[in-house]
Amino acid sequence: MHLVKTFIAVSLAAGMLFVLGVAGWVVNIGTKDVLYRSDAIVVLGAAQFDGTPSDVLQSRLDRAFELWKARTARKVITTGSNQPGDRTTEAASARQYLLDLGLPRAAVIPVPKGTNTLDSLIAVEKHLRILKAERVTVVTDPAHMVRCLLIMRNLGYEAFGAPTRSGAGSKMTFSYVTRETAAVIRYLFLQRSEISG
């Protein structure tokens, strides 16, 4: 009985340490912001309202625009499908926002597929192959970055993070870090097998 209790206690402690380690990883990677040249900038989608990007999506698009202006990549890929009743997609509204900022049409590739992070990035992968891309810069919220980079690297790309610096979604709140810690663990143990690349 004593051995059973010891085993349970050790297992619980190991589990807690693992969770805390993942949470620390989420925070650490989300605060790193080093600009690298890449073949494409991938902007993760977020809500849009009848063609107008939400504050969260605008923050991501503004960051992508900064990177494009700095000539870190020639192409920007916008992602995200739509919800029932929507007249447009996250990818399309994001593309229009970037065009309004001054990006040329040929520079922005909308990928209107996927209603979650994993499906969106798997859909992007086909377009990256067409571009013969090897290095990718991911733009999303800081707490969301680890999961996105994991997926892109599992798809076979050298991926770098350029998290949003200000605006909606850019703060490392306890609830956001907790949610993403759980999402990273779920991806590692349950979803990674969905990637064949």
The kind and range of the H/E element at 136 are strand 135-139
- Domain with residue 160: its CATH number is 3.40.50.620
The residue range of the domain holding 74 is 2-194
How many angstroms separate the most distant Cα atoms in the chain? Answer: 70
Segment 54-85, tens digit of pLDDT:
999 999 999 999 999 999 999 999 999 988 77
114 torsion bin: left (phi>0), alpha (psi -120 to 50), beta (else):
left
What pLDDT is recorded for position 17? 84
Give the tokens for residue 190.
Answer: 């349950």
What pLDDT is recorded for position 154? 95
Residues 6+ apart with CB under 8 A from 50: 86, 87, 88
Query: For all residues of the chain together, what is the average pLDDT?
Result: 91
Number of domains, the chain: 1
- Pinpoint the alpha helices (H) of 31-144: 55-69, 90-101, 117-130
**pLDDT: which is higher, 114 or 191:** 114
